[in-house]
Amino acid sequence: MLSFSRARSQGRNTRPLTGGMDYLEPKRKTNVMGRVILVVSLTALCIIMLKHAPSFTSPTAFSRSEEGVTHVLVTGGAGYIGSHAALRLLKDSYRVTIVDNLSRGNLGAVKVLQGLFPEPGRLQFIYADLGDAKAVEKIFSENAFDAVMHFAAVAYVGESTLDPLKYYHNITSNTLVVLEAVARHKVKKLIYSSTCATYGEPEKMPIVEVTPQVPINPYGKAKKMAEDMILDFSKNSDMAVMILRYFNVIGSDPEGRLGEAPKPELREHGRISGACFDAARGVIPGLQVKGTDYKTGDGTCVRDYIDVTDLVDAHVKALEKAKPKNVGIYNVGTGKGRSVKEFVEACKKATGVDIKVDFLPRRPGDYAEVYSDPAKILRDLNWSARFTNLQESLEVAWKWQKTHPHGYASS
């Protein structure tokens, strides 16, 4: 068998020549040609790939500055507030880049915006984590930003007391990464989304911008640290800085395009409006009001509820009014405090549902009473809240909730 196989093998590789001799045909020529073809094919493939890589493409609208067009980076632009801000900016003809890691935001909100503004050069979405310094540097290197609106942050007081390190990392550390990129690339304006939680529980109401900042929970502390970094940096920078400390956000886009859709696993930490709507839809058996023994009129916490449409309007006004080498710090609120019990009654009327309410002990990290004095932002930026009817704001939000029972997945 062995000799037979060898004979067959030799037969395939020999050819009869003149003189009756057998000559073994060399494979070298065939192999060389195969290798040449392979190399040429791979080279062509590499050239095609490189030409489609960002560094080899011709400059896009987002990568170059354009006279008369302001390019704004909106961090956290897939989130509740960030997506509403992006919508307003796009309506006002700004060029917008959204950066979000979608840990709290919704890709569905981005898709809504892309559907509304499909024109080239208007809106782009970049999936990235601001904690990744290399990714952030790449984003700033490949885009020509005129301004940054920094919304991206975890933002639940209760959760911050349970997992404080997450909040210091996500808020304070990530803001440092953004700030370093802003500095390296000489971005002209920074609008920072801060919070009234930096004030803690002041002895005197209403809160003004010079009220001492003594935060009492990790969320407020992390935001204050981020503010301090920005303020220290601004002392030796030409950048225009605006810090907006806003209060409790409610409502949604009046035209029903966007709304609030927190992740299901975060419902217990979410805003009171979300809990009210969940109770009204039967997602949860009832509403839990935590704390009835505060030193307030009815024993429940008092808050200043600001409609998200008013809030993004304040951000746009801040962007327009920001001046080089100047820092503006403003409270963004209605100037009127409402108790949790008042809020619940307004929610019942807005939804038409007699929501079951359970009164429980206080939640760690909460404070009794917080509401703003918006006189400074009215004086400097000519801004004041317009949507101040609590029930009406909740009715608008409820309309979106009813048509999107599963959030953006309903679309």
Show the domains of the chain with their CATH numbers.
69-401 (3.40.50.720)
Hey, what are 113's tokens? 């915006």
192 is catalytic: no
DSSP string across 196-245: GGGGBS-SSSSB-TTS--B--SHHHHHHHHHHHHHHHHHTT---EEEEEE
Residue given tokens 């307004």 in the structure block: 346
Task: Report CA Rg, the chain.
Answer: 30
DSSP state of 266: G
Contacts of 178 (CB under 8 A, 6+ apart): 75, 130, 136, 148, 150
Cβ neighbours of 120 (radius 10 Å)? 9
Residue 38 sits at φ, ψ, to 5 deg, of -65, -45
- Find all residues with CB under 8 Å of 374, minimum gap 6, and list them: 331, 332, 333, 334, 335, 383, 384, 385
Q: Which of 126, 151, 153, 122 is nearest to 141 (CA)?
A: 126
Q: What is the mean pLDDT of each run of 10 residues along the chain (411 residues)?
A: 38 40 46 68 63 55 96 98 98 98 97 98 98 98 98 94 97 98 98 97 95 97 98 97 97 98 82 92 92 96 97 98 98 97 97 96 87 98 98 98 92 63
| Token reading at 46 | 């590499």
Asked if residue 65 lies in contact with residue 81, where contact means CB atoms within 8 angstroms, the answer is: no
Name the residue type at position 321.
Answer: K
Residue 91 is given by DSSP the state H
- Name the residue type at position 237: S
Q: What is the pLDDT of residue 35?
A: 72
Half-sphere exposure of residue 365: CA atoms within 13 angstroms, side-chain side: 19
Asked if 14 and 24 touch (Cβ cutoff 8 Å), the reply is: yes
Q: Cα separations (Å) of 378 from 256, 330, 337, 384?
A: 28, 10, 18, 6
Residues 261 and 407: their CA atoms lie apart, in Å, by 5
Helix (H) or strand (E) holding 62: none
Dist CA 331 CA 79 (whole Å): 21
Catalytic residue among 192, 219, 246, 371: 219
Do 241 and 192 touch, CB atoms closer than 8 A? yes
Amino acid 37: pLDDT: 73
In this prediction, residue 148 carries a pLDDT of 98
- Classify 167 as helix, strand or coil: helix
Residue 71: both structure tokens together: 């390019």
Rounded to an integer, what distance in angstroms lies between the CA atom of residue 246 and that of residue 114? 28
Read off the DSSP letter of residue 69.
B
Contacts of 51 (CB under 8 A, 6+ apart): 57
